Amino acid sequence: EIESLGRLRHKNLVNLQGWCKHKNDLLLVYDYIPNGSLDSLLFSRSFVLDWDQRFRILKGVAVGLLYLHEEWEQVVIHRDVKSSNFLIDGDFNAHLGDFGLARLYSKTTFKDL
């Protein structure tokens, strides 16, 4: 599944740059996203998101989930969508990360469920 998830490329997903497995240890290398997680911005006392920033983030969340569910070659069910798993870049675009619980389904199998 790591190889499949490594092929995911979308502007609203955190891109997996590489990985290494040694015995039972797995190291994943992702893009650096400078503004941290959405939850840290939402609950920050020192920074308040304006409405344009909030809209841009919300749109990124929706577009990223649409890509996973309907537009990629397989159906990806993330299974852990929460504000701490969305990372926010310098332009306030949302990037979904942490695919540890994700499951992949073929489009035909998923339609039969």
How far apart (Å, rounded) are the C-alpha atoms in residues 11 and 110?
24
98 is catalytic: no
The neighbour count for residue 13, using CB atoms within 10 Å, is 26
Tell me which H or E stretch contains 79.
none
Catalytic site residue from 80, 89, 98, 112: 80
Report the catalytic residues.
80
